[in-house]
Amino acid sequence: MKKVSEFMTDDIVTVTPQDNIFEIAVKMRDNDTGFIPVVESPGSEKLVGVVTDRDLVIRGYAEKHSGSSSVETVMTKGIRTATPDMSVDEAAELMSQQKIRRLPVTEGDRLIGVISIGDLAVHNIFVDNAGDALSEISEQHLH
């Protein structure tokens, strides 16, 4: 059984609730990502939420929040996470159920990585599940 820990990314860019949405946008641009976990404070690994590029647009700029608005204005709380010993099949299923492309990996409430549909597809692991999840997510965004 292949585990999430074998395929997750552990070099993670994070923000804190004290940051603002302009800083998130810059980090997304500079790190070529559309997903940034939010940790409790600088140097902390306690996961408190996530922000996607879509969150920035829908909850931030479309709602006329300025770039100086706090991360809390746009972040998603109460997110589902994977554990490092979870099978990649279970992670792909969770992504499909939640209609998400990326899943934070935690030990307790401590962020240790992120696994994405792309991580699964690149390694040809459970491509059917990852492909199904991606198809469902993409269809949702078309409507």
Number of separate domains in the chain = 1
Q: What is the pLDDT of residue 76?
A: 94
Q: Which structural domain, as residue segments, surrounds residue 54?
A: 4-142
Query: Across all residues in the chain, what is the average pLDDT?
Result: 87
Residue 39 has pLDDT above 60, yes or no: yes
Residue 59 has pLDDT above 80, yes or no: yes
Q: What is the pLDDT of residue 129?
A: 53
Determine phi and psi for 81, rounding to 5 degrees: -135, 165
Q: What's this model's pTM, rounded to 2 decimal places?
A: 0.83
Percentage of the chain beyond pLDDT 70 is 85
Q: Which residues contact 114 (CB under 8 A, 6 or more apart)?
A: 8, 9, 12, 35, 37, 102, 103, 104, 105
Q: What is the pLDDT of residue 96?
A: 86
Residue 138 has pLDDT above 60, yes or no: no
Q: Which CATH number fits the domain that encloses residue 46?
A: 3.10.580.10
Q: What is the pLDDT of residue 17?
A: 94
Confidence tier at 107 by pLDDT (50, 70, 90) = very high
Q: What is the pLDDT of residue 140?
A: 52
- Which ranges constitute the DSSP H helices of the chain? 21-31, 53-55, 88-98, 117-122, 127-142
